[in-house]
A = this chain, B = another copy of it.
């Protein structure tokens, strides 16, 4: 058995993606050990290199989505660039792009050509809407997909407009699904020797997260309501006011609810005939909130969070990013790491969300300078092309 450091050791990914969904996908593969070769247009490269705040010329946004990658520059509109891409593809295990569906084929790399170059290749495309259907060719962007997918229709307050998420959530879900699909396709190839095509669409990914909102609608035909921070079905639930800040409480069933009310000294309410059943409590949730707020004012946020969690009631507070990154739990989970970028110093970035005990994710390489690996990667390919034509 080989000595394996990471699950994707030995896998080479040719990465034509840019901006967010695709680079996130290829970073996930790189974090798991793949050699990721980021192909960028000469000149400015991935637009994210110029986005966000730069420090010593380096975008930390770019750095945080492009660790564990090598960068080569290719002009894919020129013959030499296409010839070199073909050679890269011959040696690759995975080719991933987030062009609109069909763009890669128009560049000269349709399915037949890719099969000829490398029948073991796993190809992957991340697009807004997928490669079939009336919207396959439309330009897409996270905000538009949040709108089109129904995500916004369930996000926000009942009395206000549908709301987008502050996180570019559809890009990241789409990228993560693509990485999952690619590793599945690699496992299939390990078994049957053949590559295949993987598609992840931002629209499909975020739609698959509709959970009970979707199943309820499909069964009843009713539209889910926006309910802000209230639970759509259960009360009490949500944010309550301690003496020095709010406390988030998720009392999702009767057992946990009784623990909640007992902990704050209001258990009697649950035996009051006005509140002894969720169907009675739910329409009175504002009234209940006033009673609970009044009681919780007696103690601090920290007091209640500790007491509630100790009693088995999930509880916490709304943390801003400053609080999150100062949170000892986040530190214990190593969710901020520091990566040395020669010439730019240490860059702090988010850590690895999946922990594998024996072959863990590692930051082996900092995000590359544009074209940093042209010589290492493209040099031998140029020699190969020269030999073949000579």
Contacts and interface: CB of A to CB of B under 8 A. Distances in A.
Given A135-B329, A322-B217, A144 B192 contact: no
A174 to B, nearest CB: 9
A210 B176 contact: no
- What is the oligomeric copy number? 2
Contacts of A332: 130, 132-134, 136
Contacts of A224: 166, 321
B51 A212 contact: yes
A328 B138 CA distance: 14
Contact of A320 (B1, B153, B192): B153
Given A166-B224, A321-B223, A212 B248 contact: no
A227 B164 CA distance: 9
Interface string A188-221: 1011111011111101111111111111111111
Contact of A154 (B152, B166, B196): B166
Contacts of A282: none
A317 B147 contact: yes
A32 interface: yes
A61 to B, nearest CB: 4
Contact of A215 (B52, B319, B324): B52
A147 B316 contact: yes
